[in-house]
Amino acid sequence: MPDRLRRFWGTGRWLWPLCALLFAAWTILVRAGLTDRLDAVLTAPVLPPRSGRGQVLEAVSLLTHPLLIYAAIAVAAVVTYQQRMRRLSTALTTSLLGLPLQIVIATWIDHARPSSAFADSLSYRGFAYPAGHAVAMTVAAWVLVTLTRARRRPTSQVRLWRMVAVFAIAVTCVSQWAMGLQSVSDLIGGVLLGAAVATFALAVGGIEEILASWAHIGLPRTTVDKRAAIVYNPTKFDDLSLLRRRVESEVLAAGWQPTLWLETTPDDAGHEQTRRALAAGVDLVLAAGGDGTVRAVCGELAGTGVPLALLPTGTGNLLARNLQVPLDTDAALRLALSGPTRAVDVVRCTWDGGEERFVVMAGLGLDARIMADTSDDLKKVIRSGAYVLAAVQNAVPDPFSVQVALDDGESTGRSAGEHRVVMALLGNVGTITGGVTIFPQATPDDGRVDLLLTGPNRIADWAKVGAGLLIGQDVEGLSHHQARRLTLTTPEPVPFELDGDPVGRTRKLVAEVEPAALHVVVPPAPTRPTRRDRHQ
């Protein structure tokens, strides 16, 4: 998809025509009487006005009255205009058209209100369709939530505000229905018209320009001569425009120069993009994607001295987890621009017809089969559970023979240096998906690559293997090894993977550590209390 078209869809400018069409279609159904049956079935029970519940509903109805809502929006429009936020003020002023538009449409439709015990209420004025309360609250909620998304807020807070907005609209509609002031069809029409007005107002004000201006609020007066590049996988994000605003907000707030954005492709997980970033002379490369994107970026940055920052977005995020990098996007961004760096190892792998680096893990046999059988679509839904389902599909793996040669060239294992295994797993870090520590002695900067060989002869032996992994000790069918360089050789080609990505099949795999070749931004090390601190 071209970048221009993606930006159009990402900003939601297509929403207001869609909402307007939906409102027009619903209005036709209402005028034709096709919604009368719905309203008859969902008629609210009669509620005494002077009951405790009735008085609460009356208070809600007054607090959400359209005149109060639009008055608050008008005040916000004036304040933002005085603060020279002209586009935002334009959007807020345009949203005020919701009131006269609702009155005009209601007068034209001439849809009478249902009979109600609250007929003396201030809210029981005018025509019923579309519901004025629903229009006003939807306008206010939609505009405010859209602008909240632009601010430098954690993802959890954005979700919370969305829930608050939906709750406010729901409470408004329920109070009107429970009091018998509006029918269900009136309220649906009000929500649709409110959505159309809100999205139209944001489009008129210029949603991209509004969000960009908000991103500049509170920026430092001085800048630093630094620039970052971000290599990102677009398939890992539901809202790329939100990612861009978050990144640019943090980058500009830190005084850095605008970011260089480089998008991966199905044919390149990030190699060429990282080389372009290095050619541009950036001071930092951010990897935003899954483990495959991280591996590609790390492979190109190794030995260059340019630091890597992680923006975890995939299912595993294994390097981030092992280095204690926050999984929250905003927290990871703040760390990326201000955190210290740590030199970690990378492992160069050579196999039949190929060569590439990895930073987390590689595997032959069962591990590679599980990765190949794991559904990408399923990972988006149940995340780590997708690996479990793939493991169940390979519950009876085929064993194979492997000869292992360590640093000194000597083989390890049974006669002729062979092991009968179902999996040979290499690791540069200790923890895998699910927080399971599979290499208890591994650290990312120990100058060693860890090797796990597992080959249970019977189904019952899997329990021993599992126990051995939990306690971090070798048992029958499970052994750990370490080396600076190791070679795995098999009689027949065996499937293998690098950092969770199936690569192909090979009969020989050589892994060699490149010590401290990669610099990664990590959280500051916790300070240890001094003897004086402990005695205070």
Q: From CA 427, how far away is CA 361, in angstroms rounded?
A: 4
pLDDT of residue 415: 32
Neighbours of 521 (CB within 10 A): 21
Q: From CA 376, how far away is CA 372, in angstroms rounded?
A: 10
421-446 confidence digits (pLDDT tens): 888 889 898 887 656 778 888 889 99
pLDDT of residue 308: 96
Alpha helices in 345-419 (DSSP H): 366-373, 376-382, 385-393
Band of pLDDT at residue 11, cut at 50, 70 and 90: very low
Q: For residue 520, which of 344, 373, 279, 297 has the smallest C-alpha distance?
A: 344
pLDDT at 348 over 90: yes
Q: Which residue has the tokens 């300070």?
A: 527
Q: Which residue has the tokens 């690791």?
A: 427
Least confident segment among 237-251, 279-293, 391-405, 480-494: 391-405
Q: For residue 130, which of 45, 63, 197 has the smallest C-alpha distance?
A: 197
Q: From CA 51, how far away is CA 56, in angstroms rounded?
A: 9
Q: From CA 421, how far away is CA 461, in angstroms rounded?
A: 13
pLDDT at 220 over 60: no
pLDDT at 476 over 80: no
pLDDT at 380 over 70: no
pLDDT of residue 176: 87
pLDDT of residue 340: 94
What is the 8-class DSSP label of residue 524?
P
Spatial CB neighbours of 252, under 8 Å, sequence gap ≥ 6? 215, 216, 219, 258
Calculate the CA dihedral of residues 433, 304, 344, 522 and round it to 10 degrees. -70
Cα atoms found within 13 Å of the Cα of residue 226, Cβ hemisphere only: 18
pLDDT at 260 over 90: yes
Average pLDDT score, the chain:
79
* Higher pLDDT among residues 290 and 394, named by residue: 290
In the chain, the percentage of residues whose pLDDT exceeds 90 is 30
CA 500 vs. chain centroid, Å, equals 19
Is the bond leading into 130 cis (omega within 30 degrees of zero)? yes
190-204 confidence digits (pLDDT tens): 999 999 999 888 888
Tokens representing 73 are 């929006």
Q: Are 225 and 256 in contact (CB under 8 A)?
A: no
In DSSP terms, 351 is beta-bridged to 354, 509
Band of pLDDT at residue 118, cut at 50, 70 and 90: confident
Mean pLDDT in residue range 165-177:
90
68-101 confidence digits (pLDDT tens): 999 999 998 888 777 666 777 888 889 999 999 9
Least confident segment among 44-48, 80-84, 217-221, 463-467: 217-221
Domains of the chain: 3-214 (no CATH), 220-339 (3.40.50.10330), 354-514 (2.60.200.40)
pLDDT at 52 over 90: no
pLDDT at 218 over 60: no
